[in-house]
Amino acid sequence: MGYVVTVGGVTIYHAGDTDHIPEMENLQPDIALLPVSGTYVMTAAEAAEAAKAIKPKIAIPMHYGAIVGTEKDAEEFKKLCGGETIILKKEKP
């Protein structure tokens, strides 16, 4: 299940745990958070295709590096996605 929220005029799409589904193509968010680990969700390549279909101004990969997936998945997404892609990194304690 995904969510679309608007805050201060900026539309944010949080895809949740999903594959590239046709309903995404009706969205045109400013920011899209897309899962990229490939386990239970899209691979980096599938997420990049989803980003190209929904055309967000900024794409942010998520759902990697904790339970499944690695930072390599996020980097692959960024490479394939083109456009403005931001990888949010965890701060080390």
pLDDT digits (tens, 9 = 90+) for 33-83: 999 988 789 999 999 999 999 999 999 999 887 777 888 999 999 999 887
Beta bridge partners of 35: 62
Question: Other C-beta atoms within 10 Å of 75: how many?
Answer: 16
Domain containing 58: what range? 11-81
User: Is residue 35 in a domain?
Assistant: yes
User: Is residue 73 in a domain?
Assistant: yes
Q: Please, which pLDDT band fits residue 30 given cuts at 50, 70 and 90?
A: very high
Domains of the chain: total: 1
pTM (2 d.p.): 0.88
| Whole-number Å distance between alpha carbons of 5 and 21 | 19
